Amino acid sequence: MEFRYSLENLTDRDYTLSSDRVLLRRMPDGGGYASDLDTELVGEVFIPARQKMSVLIRVPFKYEDFNTSPEEQRDEKKSGAFADRRLNRLDGFGLFDKQNKIQVEFPNGWSQWEPVKNAFK
């Protein structure tokens, strides 16, 4: 799954995200953060002063970890249900730039999406 966010630099200085960073998955219902080795911020992040930049977060899921297969996921209904269940277990992301001592929260923008709300009803 891929998530696209827009980051805005509100300062008068250019910002480059350091390589000393951690991207964590935020758990639902105030469950804190979880570290996923495969969750990644794609590409380098440079945001000029007073500008916005689009960033991409990629969260790979292994089909076998969820008792499904690539063949089953070719069925649109099954693949939609699979995605809905995964999104129900995710409440956004936290990015921690340790060198610059900056924390960025990437909010959950899908919780009000009907299929996600109904995934476990």
**How far is C-alpha 75 from the geometric centre of its chain's CA atoms?**
24
Segments making up each domain of the chain, as ranges: 2-116
Nearest of 48, 43, 40 to residue 23 by alpha carbon: 40
C-alpha neighbours within 13 Å on the C-beta side of residue 49: 4
Contact partners, residue 25, CB within 8 Å, separation at least 6: 33, 34, 35, 36, 39, 59, 90, 93
pLDDT of residue 120 exceeding 50: no
This prediction's pTM: 0.79
User: Which pair of structure tokens corresponds to residue 72?
Assistant: 């089953």
Contact partners, residue 70, CB within 8 Å, separation at least 6: 63
The whole-chain average pLDDT of the chain stands at: 85
Query: Would you place residue 114 in the very low, low, confident or very high pLDDT band (cuts 50, 70, 90)?
Result: low
Tell me: the pLDDT tens digits for 41-78? Answer: 999 999 999 999 999 999 887 767 667 777 776 777 77
Q: What is the mean pLDDT of residues 79-96?
A: 83
